[in-house]
Amino acid sequence: MRIIGLTGGIGSGKSTVAAMLQDHGIPVVDADEVARKIVAPGQSALAELAKAFGKEIIDQQGHLNRAELARRAFTTSEKTQLLNSITHPAIKAEVKRQFSQLEDAGFKMAIYDMPLLIEQGLHKQMDLTVVVDVDAEERVRRLVDKRGLDESDVRNRIARQIDDETRLAAADIVIDNNGTLENLNTQVHALAARLTELTGLTERN
Ligand code: ATP
């Protein structure tokens, strides 16, 4: 099965593109969703986190208290590494499971919607990397106006991500989402056709 990485800066429209591709019948594995799933109540990664950082990171209902975990895990780079050594393998295993499931269901390709794809070097493992590109100022506007996020928080998060130039350099295909949603839809329609053609060609070779 061919795996197509989908990434972009925060607020670039990854989720919107993923939903549109899904409408074209292309399945999506959502990295954020997997990251939430592996620490859901009762999951082994959650128990491991509690063992490493203290049972206070789990609330009365058995849910992960993210703020408490962040307070304990992001104090030193060693602790952050410990956190990653617990969560990353669990995420990797679940992502693999979801792709295998799609392959067993007969899909020839699937999208991996992953915000930090390039930051983590995972784009090298993809058959193709699609980057959704939008000017930083427009992304700030959309996240503040449409999602009601705090402007300085958005700017800080953008500053912590790789710059647009580096991200674009890693792209095989760029979707320009500076325009309207209708324009985006047109581009995604063409992308779905291109991906189907590319994976079809690869399958035959
Ligand atoms: P995050 O980084 O938070 O996961 P994302 O990259 O998945 O975000 P979306 O949630 O798809 O981005 O889009 C961010 C916001 O911008 C949403 O409110 C979405 O509806 C809106 N949006 C996306 N594309 C456009 C567009 N072309 N025109 C106007 N608004 C848009």
- pLDDT digits 0-9 by tens, 145-181: 999 999 999 999 999 899 999 999 999 999 999 999 9
Percent of the chain at pLDDT > 70 equals 98
Query: For residue 205, what pLDDT band results from cuts at 50, 70 and 90?
Result: very low
pTM above 0.95, yes or no: no
- In short, whether 19's Cβ falls inside 6 Å of ligand 1 is no
Mutate to test the pocket of ligand 1, among 16, 112, 156 (most ligand atoms within 8 A of CB): 16
Does 99 have pLDDT greater than 60? Answer: yes
- In short, whether 9's Cβ falls inside 6 Å of ligand 1 is no
CA 140 – CA 32 distance, rounded (Å):
20
- In short, whether 116's Cβ falls inside 6 Å of ligand 1 is no
Are residues 54 and 73 in contact, defined by beta-carbon separation less than 8 angstroms?
Answer: no
Domain at 1-27+107-204: CATH code: 3.40.50.300
- pLDDT digits 0-9 by tens, 5-20: 999 999 999 999 999 9
Tokens of 36: 């939430």
- In short, whether 111's Cβ falls inside 6 Å of ligand 1 is no
Q: Count Cβ atoms within 10 A of the Cβ of residue 11 and give its class: 0-12 exposed, 13-18 middle, 19 or more buried.
A: buried
Tokens of 28: 């999506």
The question of ipTM being above 0.95 is answered as yes
Q: What local confidence, expressed as pLDDT, does residue 25 receive?
A: 95
Mean pLDDT of the chain: 95
Q: Which residue lies with its CA nearest to atom 22 of ligand 1? A: 13
CA 124 – CA 199 distance, rounded (Å):
17
15 is an annotated ligand-binding site residue: yes
Q: Which helix (H) or strand (E) holds 106?
A: none
**How many A from CA of 12 to the centre of ligand 1?**
6
Chain center to CA of 88:
13
Pair type for strands 128-133 and 109-113: unpaired
Where in the chain are the domains?
1-27+107-204, 38-105
**How many A from CA of 102 to the centre of ligand 1?**
26
Q: Which residue lies with its CA nearest to atom 14 of ligand 1? A: 11
- pLDDT digits 0-9 by tens, 57-71: 999 999 999 999 999
Q: Count Cβ atoms within 10 A of the Cβ of residue 140 and give its class: 0-12 exposed, 13-18 middle, 19 or more buried.
A: buried
Pair type for strands 28-30 and 2-8: unpaired
Are residues 111 and 13 in contact, defined by beta-carbon separation less than 8 angstroms?
Answer: no
- pLDDT digits 0-9 by tens, 183-202: 999 999 999 999 999 887 55
**How many A from CA of 177 to the centre of ligand 1?**
9
**How many A from CA of 172 to the centre of ligand 1?**
21
